[in-house]
Amino acid sequence: MTDVVQRVHDIGSDLEGINTEADEQRYLPETAMKQLSDTGLFRLLQPKDFGGEEAHLCEFLESVMAVGSHSPSAGWISGVVGVHPWELAVTDRRLQEEIWGQNPDTLVASPYAPFGRAKVVEGGVVFSGRWPYSTGTDHCEWIILGGLLTDAEGDVGTVPEMRHFVLPRSDYEIVADSWYVMGLQGTGSRDVIVDEAFIPDYRIVYPPGLDDGSTAREMGRTDPLYAIPFGVVFSGAITAGTLGIAEGALKAFTDYTRDRVRVNGVKVAGDPFQLAALGEATADLDASRRHVLSDIERLYDILETRDHITLDERLVVRSNQVRASRRAVDAVDRLFAHAGAGSLRLDHPLQAFWRDLHAGMNHVCNVAEPVYQAYGLNLFGQPIPKGVYV
């Protein structure tokens, strides 16, 4: 274990101090990103041979929660940008050298949605497309983008083949005025555009190998960390970001309620309904945290006996992740309903945490119903629809 979680809390007041600025400018200030980088968070999932920690996945998730409890946007960026070294650890070594060889603190953005089209040519592909929601992209020098392979005429065929494509900053454009939203404003999740960039074969990743552990085995990565399925790891980062925001909301409510007095002169801290809402929310948030982390511990235990996680096991974890996020949001909603009109003020931290929390629930990894459906279909021996994020 490292002391990254403690380092995060050590800069907690600084992170809280930049929340308004981040929202107003629609991306995280460079000073905050430097502080986050200095905690070591972005190296937790990075392989040791490239300056990383190869830390336990739970430590990474707890670190993301810690950041999010102080600054929702910073926590979201920590989860999304911080998870990419996990995938890059099992890519071609030439790509790892390009990204980390000169600077192990190089950061990488995404998104993975298959909006790109990659025309197969000798030695690689010619790649084009436009993607929204590239979280933290202004702070990154590389990016991972999703896309579909095409033939010479641009046809994806009857069975589209998805890949992840890794590009340096020189091969894509960040669209500056493309992030106007009501929550998680400080994440700077801008659009990116690629216009006929050549991507060599060694910068192309085959996604199924990230779920069954085969890519990690082929690359000689033996740490159980890299055998956990991509769907669990990336979604876990989103869940952690969500829970961190919820924990920040709980603290904001508690701090506000401690000294709040109603117009009739009664201290709110003695109100039985306030106390009931607080106790219930605290228990629910603790249950969500424990649920998520214990699932990851269980996967590590499984990987002590075999080299992969089954689809059945994966679906259980994903169902628990989306349920944990929903439970946390419902708990914060109950708190917000009891917080009074003062919490609606734009300078009040609770309303900001509440908005950011609901914005985070729109991420595909937090959309619960398709995951629950996939669990049930698989349980009863039926095929899972394509495109479900599990």
Q: pLDDT at position 217, please? A: 94
Mean pLDDT for all residues in the chain: 95
Confidence of residue 165 (pLDDT cuts 50, 70, 90): very high
Q: What does the pLDDT read at residue 84?
A: 98
pLDDT exceeds cutoff 70 at 67: yes
Under the banding of pLDDT at 50, 70 and 90, the label for residue 263 is low
Task: Judge whether residue 386 has pLDDT over 90.
Answer: no
Q: Phi/psi class of residue 387: alpha, beta or left (left: φ > 0; alpha: ψ in -120 to 50)? A: left
Instruction: Name the pTM for this structure.
Output: 0.96
Residues 351-375 have pLDDT tens digits of: 999 999 999 999 999 999 999 999 9
pLDDT band at 65 (very low <50, low <70, confident <90, very high): very high
Q: Say if residue 264's pLDDT is above 70.
A: no
Confidence band of 158 (pLDDT split at 50, 70, 90): confident
34-51: per-residue pLDDT in tens? Answer: 999 999 999 999 999 999
Average pLDDT over residues 120-137: 97
Q: Could you give the domains of the chain?
A: 4-106 (1.10.540.10), 108-205 (2.40.110.10), 228-379 (1.20.140.10)
